Amino acid sequence: MNKVIAINGSPRKNGNTAILLQKALDGAASVGAETEMIHLIDLEYKGCISCFACKRKGTRFIGSCALQDDLSPVLEKAMHAQAIILGSPIYLGDVTALMRAFIERFGFINVSYDNKRHNQFAGKINAAFCYTMNVPKLISLLFGYVYMFNKGFLKKLNGTVEMLVCTDTWQFDDYSKYEASNFDVEKKKKVREKVFPRDCEKAYKIGRKLSAAREDG
Ligand SMILES: Cc1cc2nc3c(=O)[nH]c(=O)nc-3n(C[C@H](O)[C@H](O)[C@H](O)COP(=O)(O)O)c2cc1C
């Protein structure tokens, strides 16, 4: 099935991350994919509880997670998708807690502790990660965010991996209502009007590429 799933790690369902993810899904739909957006904020779930059911000898949980909660059907869908597009704002220099808990569960079921196998996952899922953040690009580089962007667990899915980094985002509808004098609102406004639409186009193209990459093998 040509299904593309976007997973929103922002608690805001209409924020920057959700907008980019929706554009990526629109791109996927434009080449015939069935698409679905999942907002992690709607779900009750935990990160990995270290039960190791997925690593036990003879386990029936190869490539799946034994912990049953609202994330279980999402993991199942993600493992059977043609492509997954993850998105998260940066919170205090990392992905949100919602996304981190998702990554612990989704990433760990594909990690192999067996030196004969690099990877528990034998299939292929194309993947992308969209990051959004307040800081401008230069500061994101100075802060070393780039090291955090390298999400190795996506490479274990054996498919194409894409990344979109969206900086200097628009955070409030009305900056005058907040104690936020750190920000140059006029500059932010310009970035919102000129740069963000380009990031949306990039997201759209990523969605198309990950969907079309099926036929490329
Ligand atoms: C709790 C919290 C922590 C944040 N920490 C950072 C940060 O460390 N670096 C940064 O560049 N932006 C930070 N931001 C800003 C968000 O990453 C940024 O506004 C993002 O685009 C929000 O995405 P959303 O609109 O999808 O929710 C933070 C925002 C919140 C609410």
The 10s digit of each residue's pLDDT in 174-196 is 999 999 999 999 999 999 999 99
Check residues 173 and 118 and name the one with the higher pLDDT. Answer: 173
What is the share, in percent, of the chain residues with pLDDT greater than 90? 81
- Please report, for residues 147, 168, 171, 187, 189, the alpha-carbon distance to residue 193 in angstroms, rounded to integers and kept in the order given: 28, 12, 13, 10, 6
Give the residue, by CA position, lying nearest to ligand 1 atom 29. 91
Give the residue, by CA position, lying nearest to ligand 1 atom 1. 91
pLDDT in tens, 23-43: 999 999 999 999 999 999 999
Q: How far apart are CA 8 and CA 42, in angstroms?
A: 10
Which pLDDT band, with edges at 50, 70 and 90, does 1 fall under?
low
- Identify the CATH assignment for 3-212 out of 3.40.50.1950, 3.30.1330.10, 3.40.50.360, 3.30.1490.20: 3.40.50.360
Q: How many residues does the chain have?
A: 217
Lowest-pLDDT range, 82-91, 112-121, 158-167? Answer: 112-121
Which tokens go with 113? Answer: 């502790």
Q: What residues are paired with 162 via a beta bridge?
A: 128
How far, in Å, is the centroid of ligand 1 from the Cα of 216? Answer: 36
Residue 61 confidence (pLDDT): 84
Question: What mean pLDDT comes out for the span 18-26?
Answer: 98
* DSSP annotation string for 49-114: ----TTTSTT-S-TTS----STHHHHHHHHHT-SEEEEEEEEETTEE-HHHHHHHHHHHHTTB---
pLDDT in tens, 47-103: 999 999 999 988 888 888 999 999 999 999 999 999 999 999 999 999 999 999 999
Which tokens go with 143? Answer: 């802060």
Question: What mean pLDDT comes out for the span 128-151?
Answer: 91
Q: How far apart are CA 70 and CA 50, in angstroms?
A: 18
Q: Return the ligand 1 atom nearest residue 93 CA.
A: 8
Amino acid at site 83: A
Q: What does DSSP assign to residue 119? A: B
Ligand 1 residue neighbourhood (C-beta within 6 Å): 10, 12, 15-18, 89-93, 132-135, 169, 171
How far, in Å, is the centroid of ligand 1 from the Cα of 57? Answer: 41
pTM assigned to the model: 0.95
Q: Return the ligand 1 atom nearest residue 11 CA.
A: 27
